Each structure stands twice: as C-alpha cells, then as structure tokens.
A = this chain, B = another copy of it.
Amino acid sequence: MFTGCPPVTAPIRIGDKWTAKIIRCLERGPRRFTELQTPLRGITPKVLTESLRAMERDGLLTRTAYDEIPPRVEYELTDLGRSLLEPMNAGCEWSRRHLPELIAARDAWHAAP
C-alpha cells in the first residue's frame, strides 16, 4: 500500500501490508525499532518484528544490534530493498494520476446501483 490513499483499499501493494511503508520509513537512512513503530502508528511490536524479519530474510534490509545499555538496534535498507523504490514510485505515480477516477467510480456505484 502507498501513502496517500488510506481510506480506500490500495490497488497496489508491495509484499505484505507493511513492507512498502517500512521501506518508505527507511528511505532516508537507518532507523531504530521505535522510530519505525511511531510513524506506523497502530502496528504492534509483534507484527513489526515479523515484517522486519521477513524483509531481512529476503535481503531487503539489514539488522544491526549494538551491545549497549539501553539496547540499540538499527534497520537499514540494502541495495535490493532500495531498488524496490522504483516500482513503488511507479505505483505512486499511478495513484496520483488515476486514483481519483477509481474513487469516483466507486462513489457512483453507491449512488446509482
């Protein structure tokens, strides 16, 4: 799902529900666990962990744990993960150009079935 279309079911998604959003959060540099949790408001630590682990397995991001107290863990996009920005931007471009038409069609359906 892409930012900018929260109320409708997004016609374009990357991976699972959170993958694309996480990539957007990491777009401008590494982020810590809670730095991801905050903008993705509503996500529970369990689900965030699952998504991050899956993305790590797929080589989309790296996880770096520092031996400090309090603990610090940083997540950063790999080149592979960053390469997903390209099709994501194509999807965003489609949304900007055509999503209003889709919304209009959906509204018209409600108005005159």
Contacts and interface: CB of A to CB of B under 8 A. Distances in A.
A91 to B, nearest CB: 5
Please classify the interface of chain A as helix (H, G, I), strand (E, B), loop, or mixed, using the class held by over half of its residues.
helix
Interface stretch (A32-40, A44-52, A67-75, A79-87): A79-87
A94 B105 contact: no
17 contacts: A10-B15, A11-B14, A12-B87, A13-B13, A57-B105, A57-B109, A59-B101, A59-B102, A59-B104, A60-B102, A80-B98, A80-B101, A80-B105, A84-B94, A87-B87, A87-B93, A87-B94
Interface string A100-113: 01101110010000
A9 interface: yes
